[in-house]
Amino acid sequence: MDLTNILFVIAAVFMLFCLYLVLSLRSQFSGGVVGRYWKYLTALVVVFTLGYLALPFFDMLPESALRLTVALVFLFGALYVYLTIKLINSIIKALSS
Amino acid sequence: MNRQTVFRRTAEGQDEIKTRQRGLEHNHRFALIMIDGASNVAELEAKSAGRWDTESLLRDLWDQGLIEPVARKEGMSEHEVASQPVPEATSHGGETRAAETGPDGEGLEPQADETASPPTSEAVKELLGESIKGQMVAVVKAIMGEHGGEKLIAKIQASEESPTALADAVDSGCIFIKLTVSESKAQALKERLHEILSEKYDRPFFKGFFRK
């Protein structure tokens, strides 16, 4: 197994652990500011997990589909960062109100 | 009973909260206290969290002339509604019930009574004793139901019984509820609990300690 594949496996395992965390913490946020954002973050983690698990099959994809996949990963990654920043901002506002 | 009907306390109902002359049972008294002139039957039932048979209690209170539906005839102006006299404290249930449908049988719409006061802390205190923590916990349970308010209740119960410590417990507990349960419930809780604290420690010395 080369370095690239080792990194792929580590990433997939790490993302599965994130999926476990995001789902297990969900019961603590039935609503409110955090609960509102948590639903979207959970959905994105599910998408990322599926994408990471599909990594071994990316070699079978034609190059155009691979480029589209990478673009989607970038898009969802940016969305995830945006939601995280909004969530942190909302928490700070709630704490300072 | 129409679940959209809004009730308010009659003058006799207000007196009963202060004087306890009728010796109402616990549930009847608590239901009387919870009447705020703005919540309809369905909302009162939600606040009871299944602890009371709300409709039965309201019917009993209505029969005794302690509460009355807040209603207006179709076509009646806001001014006419506002100028309607509140029935005398001696009016009995039959007369009050007749008022809901009107003498000519026309339907009446429920309407919130902006002049009616929400259940006061004094009234809750009378019911639950002098413990301010007990009053605050009762309010948390009334607004949050059985679940969602546990952390706030724990903070209140663990707090020292001083105005600043209790206010801090309320503020931090309400932030937790705002973040994880509901923003509107957190706001309602914060206002109501600070109101109780203000009433309890309503002395010039304490006033500077409160953060609203």
Rounded Cα distance, B67 and B61, in Å = 6
A88 inside 8 A of chain B by CB: no
Rounded Cα distance, B145 and B138, in Å = 10
**For residues B161 and B134, is the Cβ–Cβ distance under 8 A?**
no
pLDDT at position B163: 83
pLDDT at position B207: 47
pLDDT, tens digit, for every residue of A32-88?
889 989 999 999 999 999 988 888 888 888 989 889 988 998 999 999 999 999 999
- Judged by CB atoms closer than 8 Å, whether chains meet at A30 and B148 is answered as yes
- Low-confidence residues of chain B: pLDDT under 50: 72-117, 128-129, 203-212
**Interface test with chain A among B147, B152, B179, by most A beta carbons within 10 Å:** B179
Chain A hits for B182, Cβ within 8 Å:
31-32
Distance from CA of B205 to the nearest CA of A (A): 25
**Interface test with chain B among A34, A36, A38, A39, by most B beta carbons within 10 Å:** A34
Buried b (16+ CB within 10 A) or exposed e, B35-49: bbbbbbbebbbebbe
pLDDT at position B31: 80
Counts for chain A of helices (H) and strands (E), in that order: 3, 0
ipTM of the complex: 0.73
Of A28, A30, A94, the CB nearest to B178: A94
A31 inside 8 A of chain B by CB: yes
pLDDT bracket for residue A8 (50, 70, 90): confident
A33 inside 8 A of chain B by CB: yes
**For residues B162 and B212, is the Cβ–Cβ distance under 8 A?**
no
A77 inside 8 A of chain B by CB: no
